[in-house]
């Protein structure tokens, strides 16, 4: 009985060895087939690389892909630019509407004081003058705060960048082109002309003309004078 069992065990071991051998051979065959496929693919790629038409088709497809990518970027950039332009235009409109808001806020109290002065029921000239002087000081303070300065004119030499000549008058008391009268005061804001001064400047007096009678007498004297 033990002999039969031993024989059976020997047979089982032989069968297991054969199965293992078959699996190894099968794995080797599969590995060989994979290598063969890889070699075939490599050969196909080499053929494609050697074919100029295939190369051109490959480059063309690559160029198309790059072009599509750049086009998409351009469309995105254009959309962002349009949105930025619209936002900038909207902000510009809002700024132009409310740019003078602070200035008007400063001017309203001055307007209120002027209105109160004119509505004063007392009709007292002295009180009215005092109120107007106060308003003038308040307005002068406002102009100074905004860097608005008066342009010097009377006694100054004419400067076309800040003065506007209305007319000229003969004057022996002033140098030529000296401002002798100012019709409208001029102002600058941050050193830029806000409104030029409208002025009258001096010019040299014209020489007096000789009387025609005197000229004729001088000529006759020259004619009567004897020659040597």
Name residues of the chain where pLDDT drops below 50.
2-6, 10-11, 227-228
Whether residue 169 sits in one domain with residue 138: no
One domain for residues 151 and 136: no
Residue 184 lies in a domain: yes
For position 6, what pLDDT does the model report? 47
- Say whether both 115 and 153 belong to one domain: no
Beta strands at 163-170 and 197-203: parallel, antiparallel or unpaired: parallel
pLDDT value of residue 172 = 86
Residue 140 and residue 181 in one domain = no
Domain extent for 114: 100-146
Pairing relationship of beta strands 187-189 and 148-150 according to DSSP bridges:
antiparallel
Distance CA 144, CA 75 (A): 52
> Residue 198 domain-assigned?
yes
Number of domains making up the chain: 2
Examine residue 151 and state whether it is found in any structural domain, yes or no: yes
At residue 4, the pLDDT reads 46
Q: What is the separation of C-alpha 124 from the centre of its chain, rounded to a whole number of angstroms?
A: 54
Query: According to the model, what pLDDT value does residue 12 have?
Result: 57
Q: How high is the pLDDT of residue 65?
A: 86
Q: Is residue 170 part of a domain?
A: yes
């Amino acid at each position: 009985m033990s002999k039969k069992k031993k024989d059976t065990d020997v047979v089982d071991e032989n069968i297991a060895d054969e199965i293992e051998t078959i699996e190894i051979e099968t794995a080797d065959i599969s590995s060989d087939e994979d290598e063969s496929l890889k070699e075939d693919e490599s050969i196909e790629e080499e053929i494609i690389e050697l074919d100029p038409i295939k190369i051109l088709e490959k480059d063309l497809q690559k160029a198309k892909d790059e072009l599509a990518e750049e086009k998409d970027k351009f469309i995105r950039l254009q959309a962002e630019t349009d949105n930025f332009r619209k936002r900038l235009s909207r902000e510009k409109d809002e700024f132009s509407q409310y740019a003078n808001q602070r200035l008007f806020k400063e001017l309203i109290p001055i307007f209120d004081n002027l209105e109160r002065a004119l509505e004063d029921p007392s009709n007292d000239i002295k009180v009215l003058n005092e109120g107007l002087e106060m308003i003038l000081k308040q307005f002068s303070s406002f102009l100074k705060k905004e860097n608005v300065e008066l342009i010097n004119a009377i006694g100054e030499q004419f400067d076309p960048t800040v003065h506007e000549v209305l007319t000229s008058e003969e004057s022996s008391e002033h140098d030529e082109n000296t401002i002798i009268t100012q019709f409208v005061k001029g102002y600058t804001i941050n050193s830029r002309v806000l409104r030029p001064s409208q002025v009258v400047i001096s010019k040299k007096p014209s020489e007096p003309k000789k009387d025609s009678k005197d000229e004729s007498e001088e000529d006759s004297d020259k004619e009567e004078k004897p020659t040597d």
